[in-house]
Structure 1
Amino acid sequence: MEKVLTEQDHYEISRSTMALIPYNHSLYNLKVIDTEGDHYLIKSPTQLIHEACVARASTYDGRRKAVKMHLHIPKKVPIPVSPIENIYVFPTHSPDQFHCHWIAYRHIHDIHSLTNQTSLVTFKNGRQLKLNLSYYSLEKQLHRTTYCMSSYSKIDECLTLLHTLCNKLGAPITTI
């Protein structure tokens, strides 16, 4: 199912979002590949990611800065849109470049090299996406995102442990 969304329509990044692909079209700027169908939006990929972060009580810039600072990832930074929902997206190129795609890590089944500068992503539902990106660069982005996910899951584990201890001690729980 394909659906062109107008300014009045709403699409929010969720666990079913697989990829955000920039489009140069007179009616829309973005194709969203979703497990429930494709959507075409007027917004840019980064606008949609910004909105998704804000909807989850954070900001794109805040998430990006935190990942850069704590994980020492200087460029093409993966964004933990919602660690609780396991929504992590990574850019294929610099987000400043028009042709930058954003891929949701959770949906990737496999990656393959097609040529020196093109790769194929196979998603868990069998869909495929050809990227103008070397296998090496794609693999590096997967490693960066895995590292990001691992770090955020450790933080979540620590917060869960803190919550459990505070409950046992009857101490008040403060938010961080």
Structure 2
Amino acid sequence: MNAETFLSQYFINKDTSCISSHFVNGHEFAVVMEGNQRKLVKQSPDEIVEESFHYTVQDLVGATKSARKILKRSYKQVPVPFAPEKSIMLIRCPSIDRFGCHWLVHSKIIDIHPKGKKQTTAEMVNGHFLTVNLSFRQLHTQRMEASFVREMILLRGEMQPYIFSLQSL
């Protein structure tokens, strides 16, 4: 991995399946799995997610608050809606070395497999496998919650506000 192969910036798109921490000489960078490609980026995974939200005129903090409100939770990690209409719900997972993190796109996870008590391997589209520092139950719950939050957001988008007028009386 030489310096010329690093992208300076990356934005999440419909082909993104996961964004993982990668450390070089103590500096955190990201490895992005996009389709069959592996891209190296000079940003941390958290920076990529934050900048992708800003690029689409959204806010990570607001999206997290919305997910917490839907799930009726005021704490703990929740899946974050990035583009629910495109099935892009993000799940943040600690890496097995506990120094970095992974952001998984829930719709790109084919299956999950327990790896001991506190780790799980996610089988991603295009043959990628990624081990995260969450138990099978925790990652399974995050996947279920991501689907629920997505459906709730899509349903809310379909709802037409009821307009009351005096003429209807």
The answer to whether TM tops 0.5 is yes
Q: Please tell me the residue identity of whatever aligns with 2:80.
A: I
From the superposition, tell whether residues 114 and 28 of structure 1 become closer, same or farther in structure 2 (CA, over 3 Å).
Answer: closer
Alpha-carbon deviations, 1:54-91, whole Å to 9, x = none?
22221111111121223223221211111232211111
Aligned pairs (5 A) from 1:69-84: 69-73=69-73, 74-84=75-85
Give the % identical residues. Answer: 22
Question: Which structure 1 residue ranges, 5 or more long, are not aligned?
Answer: 167-176
Question: Which structure 2 residue ranges, 5 or more long, are not aligned?
Answer: 164-169
From the superposition, tell whether residues 63 and 119 of structure 1 become closer, same or farther in structure 2 (CA, over 3 Å).
Answer: same
TM-score (norm: length of structure 2): 0.81
Aligned pairs (5 A) from 1:1-176: 4-7=5-8, 10-26=9-25, 29-73=29-73, 74-93=75-94, 98-158=99-159, 162=160
Bigger relative CO (Cα 8 Å, ≥ 6 apart)? 2
TM-score (norm: length of structure 1): 0.78
Root mean square deviation, CA, Å: 2.6
Contact preservation (8 Å) 1:81, 1:87: yes
Deviation, 1:19, is: 0.8
Name the SS of the counterpart of 1:13 in structure 2.
coil
Contact preservation (8 Å) 2:14, 2:88: yes
From the superposition, tell whether residues 4 and 155 of structure 1 become closer, same or farther in structure 2 (CA, over 3 Å).
Answer: farther
Runs of 4+ in 1 over 3 A off after TM superposition: none
Q: Please tell me the residue identity of whatever aligns with 2:105.
A: A
Counterpart-to-counterpart distance in 1, 2:13 and 2:48: 11
Alpha-carbon deviations, 1:101-120, whole Å to 9, x = none?
11001111111112112211
Name the SS of the counterpart of 1:122 in structure 2.
strand
Higher strand share: 2
Deviation, 1:149, is: 1.1
From the superposition, tell whether residues 144 and 4 of structure 1 become closer, same or farther in structure 2 (CA, over 3 Å).
Answer: farther
Q: Please tell me the residue identity of whatever aligns with 1:48.
A: I
